[in-house]
Amino acid sequence: MLIMKAIGLTAGTPFKPAPRITWRACVAILLACYFAGFVVLAILSRRGLVADGAGYFTAILQTRAVFSPEVSRWMANLLTQWPVLAALRLGVTDLAALGYLHSFGLYYLAAVTLGWSWILLPAERKSLMVLPLLGVILGWMGSCYDELSQGQVLALWFWPAFFALAFGNLKTIRGAANIILLVIPTILMHEAMCFLGPILAFLALSRAFGERDRAARCIWIFLGLWLIAGSALALYFTLVPLNAGDRQGFITGIVRFHFIYWAPRSVNPPVVVAVATIFTVLFCCRHEHWARRLLPAWLPGFVLLLLAAALAPILDARDFAPDLQSDARSWVVGVPLMLVLALIAYNSGWLAISSTVRPMLSVVVALAAASQITWQVGATFRWREFLDEFRQELAMHQGFVPYETAFGSGTTAQAPAYRILSTRWTFTGLSIALAPGGQVATIVGNPDPVGWQAFDPTNPAELPHIAGVDYSRYVKALGPASP
């Protein structure tokens, strides 16, 4: 119970909401609309095809089942792939429509996380919405250019599950449904469950020990054991990965801070904004007097940093390096842990958040949110430019086009185009995904040196068999010399 009290989930009203202020409500509504607009733009721009997204998309269309190269992430893939799978079951074969559904599956969870968290929080605890909000602003927005990261699914799923376990009521149909729907999918979601799972398991078992009804207590114990099992499986797949290179790359990315900076690929501005925001919030909370006194000094500098970060994709296309967001998959799963520690620190008295400092914190977080969304919007328009260039390339040629001879000099997509696509091995999949009407006439090859790829585009026998896709023009252009 002492730990539960430290987390702030026992009786009482920590995080008392401040009196409503009109300007704060207006800013919140504007930011919510801005965020919703970005999500819609990302879906309509088919940003789900970024990086491995193109490869996953063609694989789902080919297998017509959940595509999960790593069994440890099967549930996360189900939660993102079900829109496409449902459409395939209904007989949809249009690549454009399926592409929109693919992107919807990868982006809808951000909005669901916030909405579901609000519904789950009791009236006296609505101020805890700051936790999933910060999770999206500081974590998810720092990596969602490459949205095909199962760690993002877990990071988003964590907060609704956290609130359901903390405040849910098993004795009502609605409460029981929310708890079960949020807990069951946590198994085989991502290896990071070995860090986040024990927190959820602790909440479930704490509810069991405080429950007088025998049936409810048994259910809480079952849920706690289920979460422990999920954590144990995640730990196993962390220690014994299917791809040791992926684990090493993950560890290296954390130790060398590749999620922020990786020479010569510039920086990841959204994570820079997140780190700057965290330190600014801590400074304001711990040293409110000095924060107010030095406000004319630090606030303009903070705003300039946010502005430079927000406009980076627009102002400096040469240094636009969205591939660093792929490396931020280590950052996104760490943010929930940091927020849980902050919650414990607040309820333990170490991190004081007075009512007088909250307006200043609201300004800092609102500015950070606006900066993060603007960067993502700018990155989306860069992606759209790249897709236009790619479509032109597909229209100008027939047959196989090596990456090194593709894209005219001086265009947006000129080397290294894989920085915008954020991978080196899915140009072939993107060529199929963007084929007009499913009529594939051109496939752009992957950059040299070509390592692993889903299929050999020069071998007609290896082309993915996808309903609604016709390779006849492409095979004819390859000619009889093709293997």
Average pLDDT over residues 123-150: 93
C-alpha to C-alpha distances, 290 to 301, 358, 432, nearest whole angstrom = 16, 15, 58
pLDDT of the residue at 162: 98
Residue 402 is encoded by which pair of tokens?
Answer: 């090596």
pLDDT higher than threshold 60 for residue 413: no
* Helix (H), strand (E) counts: the chain: 21, 2
pLDDT of the residue at 324: 79
Q: For 101-115, 165-179, 241-255, 375-389, which range has the lowest pLDDT when averaged over its residues?
A: 241-255
Average pLDDT over residues 475-480: 85
pLDDT of the residue at 5: 54
The dihedrals phi and psi of 449, each to the nearest 5 degrees, come to -75, 130
CB 314 within 8 A of CB 379: no
What is the DSSP code string of 187-200? TTS-TTHHHHHHHH
The predicted-structure confidence for 177-236, as pLDDT tens digits, reads as follows 999 999 999 999 999 999 999 999 999 999 999 888 899 999 999 999 999 999 999 999
CB 422 within 8 A of CB 323: yes
CA pair distance 376, 381, nearest whole angstrom: 9
pLDDT of the residue at 483: 47
Cα torsion 390, 391, 393, 394: sign = positive
The length of the chain is: 483
Alpha-carbon 392 to chain mean position: 30
Could you tell me what percent of the chain has a pLDDT over 90? Answer: 69
Could you tell me what percent of the chain has a pLDDT over 70? Answer: 87
List CB contacts of 357: < 8 A, sequence separation 6 or more: 284, 285, 288, 291
Residue 334, classed as helix, strand or coil, is coil
CA pair distance 421, 265, nearest whole angstrom: 14
pLDDT of the residue at 250: 58
List CB contacts of 212: < 8 A, sequence separation 6 or more: none
pLDDT of the residue at 3: 45
Residue 415 is encoded by which pair of tokens?
Answer: 């080397």
How does the average pLDDT of the chain come out, rounded?
88
pLDDT of the residue at 450: 77
Average pLDDT over residues 352-372: 93
pTM of the predicted model, to two decimals? 0.90
Q: b/e for 298-335, b at 16 or more Cβ within 10 A?
A: ebeebeebbeebbebbeeeeeebbbbbbbbbbbbbbbb
Which residues are bridge partners to 443 per DSSP? 400
The predicted-structure confidence for 264-322, as pLDDT tens digits, reads as follows 657 889 999 999 999 999 999 999 999 999 999 999 999 999 999 999 888 876 667 78
pLDDT band for position 11 (cuts 50, 70, 90): very low
CB 390 within 8 A of CB 363: no
The predicted-structure confidence for 442-462, as pLDDT tens digits, reads as follows 999 998 887 788 899 999 999
Average pLDDT over residues 34-59: 95
C-alpha to C-alpha distances, 370 to 130, 140, 341, nearest whole angstrom = 16, 14, 25
pLDDT band for position 13 (cuts 50, 70, 90): very low
Residue 152 is encoded by which pair of tokens?
Answer: 């993002």
